[in-house]
Structure 1
Amino acid sequence: MPDIKVTYFNGRGLGELIRYLLKYGDIDFEDIRIEMDNWPALKASTPFGQLPLYEENGKVASQSLAIARYIAKKVNLAGDDEWQNLEIDALADTLTDFRLKLYPFYHESDPEKKEALKQTLLSETVPYYFERFEKNITKNNGYLAANKLTWVDFFFATSLDSLTRILGVNVGEKYEGSSKLKKKVEELPAIKTWIASRPETPF
């Protein structure tokens, strides 16, 4: 078995997708968690000054989605052909676009401005994306792409979890397909076991 390490902050965020995929594939790994206070001293030693990092037999890679694609091939969560992989990648990039729209709200310190940003997210941004996610889920028999369970469904589930924690609102409950897909991922035996045993973290 390869010697695998996953390094991320002491939270879920982008690191959780990698953890989900490894747990799903029953691949052992060392779950290294960096406290925020220790990050500045470690940042310069990382390839591009960011986390997560994936290490396998001494070789290190960054970029969460590239890592996810790599693991997905190992655990049979990639597409069956290049077109399906294109569909999966397109949805993953769309999820990233959506996540980036949360950043101004997440980093805003002024309470009034923060509340205004939140309302815009809930009334405009979330409906725009989730109405389209719902169409994809309906078209793909309950999954986001490829008519089957793929790694982008894991990315969707962890992103929806992050969104709920950031906004303090379960935005997925309004969207039946999205809620069912998140639950489907979280009810997979390996993921269910991980969720029950993972550390409680602030994000």
Structure 2
Amino acid sequence: MSYKLTYFDVPGLAEPIRFLMAYLDIDFEDNRIGYQTWSAVKPSMPFGKVPILEIDGQVLNQSSAITRYLARKAGLAGIDDWESMLIDIAVDNVHDFRHEIAVYVFTERKNCDAESNSSKIKEITKFYMEKFESIVTINKGFFVNGKLTWADLFFVAISDTLSDMAKIDILEGRPNLQTLKTQVLSIPQIKTWVAKRPEPSVLF
């Protein structure tokens, strides 16, 4: 099967997909598009958004659906419906955090002074990250049921983007989340991917 992933030249929402394909040892084309060419590319996207994943020419959109599909192939999507739901909840909570940060960064921040920006970002980050740290502590170092799932890969894959957007280290002072990140990045296939992936051309 042939796989082609299209996204901007940043980790962002494509990085969890990249992590999972690396975990599965899937050889894929990592098609990175520049922001300057996005207006020309956008009309060819199913809903005018990225990432998209093409599998044998079949174009798939919606990053959560793609990551969940790959997670099932990897055996990281839960052993039953209940566990799968818990994993989905964990991922959606991270999405909520990402969304709040993104909304603030791309809409509200430009209208506030530096002190207000710092305060608001810290408030959002503290609310979510304290909850994530508590969840991982209760679940013996993972997000769900004390074992590796795609929720862990998703969080670690997107954590650098969240730190870049917030302009703070979101893991600072959260030792269990730091340990989780170290564990995920130590998985041989993911370690290999991280070592060879290109540096992003743009940060937030």
Q: Counterpart amino acid of 1:22? A: M
- Amino acid aligned to 2:140: N
Q: Cα deviations across residues 47-102 of structure 1 (Å, max 9, x unaligned)?
A: 11100001111111111111000000111111111101100001111111111111
- Does residue 9 (structure 1) correspond to residue 11 (structure 2)? The answer is no
- 1:123-160: CA deviations, max 9, x gaps? x2212111211221122111001321111111111222
Residue identity matched to 2:40: A
Alignment correspondent of 1:156: 155
Distance change in 2, residues 1:114/1:95 (3 Å): farther
**Percent identity at matched positions?**
40
Q: Determine if contact 1:143/1:149 at 8 Å carries over to the other structure.
A: yes
- Distance in 2, matches of 1:133 and 1:66, equals 22
**Hey, what does 2:113 align to over in structure 1?**
113
Alpha-carbon distance between aligned partners in 2 of 1:73 and 1:156, rounded to the nearest angstrom:
17
1:97 is aligned to 2:96: yes
Note if contact 1:88-1:146 (Cα within 8 Å) is conserved in structure 2: no
Structure 1 segments, 4+ long, off by >3 Å, are: 108-115
1:5 and 1:29 in contact (8 A); partners too: yes
Once residues 48 and 113 of structure 2 are traced to their aligned partners in structure 1, the CA distance between those partners, rounded to angstroms, is 29
TM-score, structure 1 as length reference? 0.93
Aligned-partner SS, 1:174: coil
Alpha carbons 1:8, 1:53 under 8 Å: kept: yes
State how far apart, in whole Å, the 1-side matches of 2:121 and 2:21 are. Answer: 32
Structure 2 CA distance for partners of 1:185 and 1:170, relative to 1, 3 Å: same
**Which residue identity does 2:130 align to in structure 1?**
E
Tell me the distance in 2 between the aligned counterparts of 1:194 and 1:6: 15
- The Cα offsets for residues 25-63 of structure 1, whole Å up to 9 and x where unpaired, read as 101111111111111111111111100001111111111
Q: By how many angstroms is 1:114 displaced?
A: 5.2
d(CA) in 2 for partners of 1:115, 1:49:
35
**What runs of 5+ residues in structure 2 fail to find an aligned partner?**
none
Q: Is the 8 A contact 1:105 1:118 kept in 2?
A: no
Quote the Cα distance in structure 2 between the aligned partners of 1:96 and 1:118. Answer: 21
Q: Does residue 74 in structure 1 map to residue 70 in structure 2?
A: no
Distance of 2:103 and 2:60 partners within structure 1:
28
Q: Is the 8 A contact 2:129 2:170 kept in 1?
A: no
> Partner residue of 2:61?
62
Q: Output the aligned Cα RMSD.
A: 1.6
What's the counterpart of residue 134 of structure 1?
133
Aligned residues: 201
1:196 shift after superposition: 1.3
User: What letter matches 2:50 in structure 1?
Assistant: L
Within 1, Cα distance between the matches of 2:103 and 2:117?
8
Letter in 1 for 2:113: K
For 1:56 and 1:187, how far apart are their aligned partners in 2? 28
Counterpart residue identity of residue 48, structure 2: G
Give the conservation status (yes or no) of the 8 Å contact 1:4–1:30.
yes
> For residues 149-192 of structure 1, what are the alpha-carbon distances to aligned partners after superposition, in whole Å with 9 as ceiling and x for unaligned?
11111111122211222233212021111111111111111111
Task: Go from structure 1 to structure 2 and tell me whether the alpha carbon gap of 1:115 and 1:158 turns closer, same or farther (over 3 Å shift).
Answer: farther
